[in-house]
Amino acid sequence: MIIKNAKYLNSQGKFQEGAISIRNGRIDDLNCNLKAGNTEKVIDASGFLILPGAVDPHVHFREPGQLYKEGIANGSMAALKGGVTTILDMPNNKPPCSTENKLRRKKEIFREKCLINWGLLFHATRNQRGGAADKIASAKIFMAKSSEHPAVTSVETLKQIFSRFPVVSIHAEDETKFDHSAGKKYVHHINRPWTAITSALQKIEKAYLALPQKKRPRVVICHLNTADDVDWIAAMKNKGFDVWGETCPHYLFFTQNDYIRNGAKYQVNPPLRTYEDQQHILEGLKKGIIDFIGSDHAPHSPAEKSSLNPPSGIAGIEWLMPFVLHLVDTGMIDWKRFHEIICRKAADCYSIKYRDGIKAGNFADLVFVSKCENPAKAERIITRAGFNPYYSHIDFKWKVQTTIVNGVIKYDGKKFYKTKKGMEV
Ligand code: DOR
Ligand code: ZN
């Protein structure tokens, strides 16, 4: 396939023009000559910008176990609409992905159903032995309960887990600090206060420093949501430690006031925080203290969200690329940071090969976008969460017009093409 009239973002974060040839799913040449008599399929990209497919390192597709909330097939369609070509799926399934058998079975379902590229995280627990025999992207540690397994809240257990896995991704919210005082009106961010974050970070640091340098894993702190955790990441990086930070669209755009005003639709773990936290996170993202954005796509059914005891989670993958483009439009980040945030940093962090941008030899994971007036207005929502959390906050200006995965068009702005499945990364 050849993409002519291509204006693409290169791996230095600059726009270039040319014709992109794709062979065996990979980018073969970024400046190929379109010869007379060419027999390859040619698509014309005039009027579009071509961007690297997003690598979203944090999603909950809920399969196996909770298909009614999303599922791999549906979640990967929402991803394609959001310009996401690679995801890493979280292990807090029902049952959780915490044994070798469950990991193997989960991989089988992903191979069969996932339209985009994927990798899996393994649920680390207290009484596990060894690592995961099969390939994993990382081990996930929940310091607040998120599955049938108890949360990991002791320094000793953190140390054990750190010494068993080369990469760990942590939900750094220490549930022993949650406020369960009876009779109080439930307010999510008060029940799960920021002290739970600082306590978790102290325990992580203690466990990390207690290990000899060679036994320390790469540590990813998921969903940074307070000024404290941004400062902590900066300090750890300054000391030369292999520590990475992720934040999510909802912490960049919403505050606890959105939760106060709208209730459960904006209830998420860790909770939304103050305006000051939000500004600090934006600054951290701009400066590169925070490495990348994960959607933390965590859909629940509309009925669950409107129940008396609503679950936490916001679904965001469907708007990920337009969201990050909005950050460029408003001057919060430049194109170089866009490139790092959208694919390069997550690919580096999780050792995802050949998917760190538009360059010869990389897989052809490409997204065509163009500007149009409020595309969210008339859209059909794909995620089973059935709700666009940004709708009331952002006039999106960008629409994903085509998503190409491994050189194959999987979404053309209207329809999804499901024959070819994604690859494990
Ligand atoms: O809000 C959240 N929802 N945070 C998590 O850590 C888990 C997620 C879920 O699985 O619903
Ligand atoms: Zn999550």
pLDDT 10s digits, 182-216: 556 789 999 999 999 999 999 999 999 999 999 99
What's phi and psi for 403, nearest 5 deg? Answer: -125, 125
User: Rounded to the nearest 10 degrees, how much is the dihedral formed by the CA atoms of 134, 172, 348, 314?
Assistant: 90
Band of residue 373 on the pLDDT scale cut at 50, 70, 90? confident
The answer to whether the CB of 265 is under 6 A from ligand 1 is no
CB 418 within 8 A of CB 37: no
146 lines ligand 1 (CB under 6 A): yes
Distance in angstroms (rounded) separating the CA atoms of residues 416 and 403: 9
Residue 300 CA to ligand 1 center (angstroms) comes to 10
Per-residue pLDDT at 149: 97
Atom of ligand 1 lying closest to residue 299 CA: 11
Model confidence pLDDT, tens digit, residues 275-333: 999 999 999 999 999 999 999 999 999 999 999 999 999 999 999 999 999 999 999 99
Q: Ligand 1: does its nearest atom lie under 6 Å from the Cβ of 223?
A: no
Q: Is 269 in the pocket of ligand 1 (CB under 6 A)?
A: yes
Give the DSSP per-residue string, 312-343: P-B--GGGHHHHHHHHHHTTSS-HHHHHIIII
Closest residue by Cα to residue 296 from 352, 250, 228, 360: 250
Number of CB atoms found within 10 A of residue 176's CB: 13
Decide: 92 in ligand 1 pocket, CB within 6 A.
yes
The atom of ligand 1 lying closest to the CA of 92 is 10
How buried is residue 377: exposed, middle or buried, by Cβ count under 10 Å (0-12/13-18/19+)? exposed
Q: Does the C-beta of 96 come closer than 6 Å to ligand 1?
A: no
Nearest CA to ligand 1 atom 3: 313
For the segment 16-50, what is each residue's pLDDT rounded down to a tens digit? 999 999 999 999 999 998 887 788 899 999 999 99
HSE-up (13 A, CA, CB side) for residue 81: 21
Where do the domains of the chain lie, and which CATH numbers do they carry? 2-50+362-411 (2.30.40.10), 54-349 (3.20.20.140)
Closest ligand, as measured to the CA of 294 = 2
- Which residue CA neighbors atom 5 of ligand 1 most closely? 269
Task: Tell me if 250 CB under 6 Å of ligand 1.
Answer: no
Q: Atom 10, ligand 1: which residue's CA is nearest?
A: 298
pLDDT for res 183: 59
The predicted pLDDT at position 423 comes to 98
Q: What is the edge-to-edge ordering of all strands in the sheet holding 138-142? A: 54-59, 84-89, 117-123, 138-142, 167-171, 218-221, 243-247, 292-293
**Tokens representing residue 303 in the block:** 């009925």
Q: Tell me which H or E stretch contains 107.
A: helix 100-113
Nearest to residue 254, comparing CAs of 246, 269, 266, 270? 266
Reply yes or no on whether the pLDDT at 131 is more than 90. no
Ligand 1 atom closest to Cα of residue 311: 11
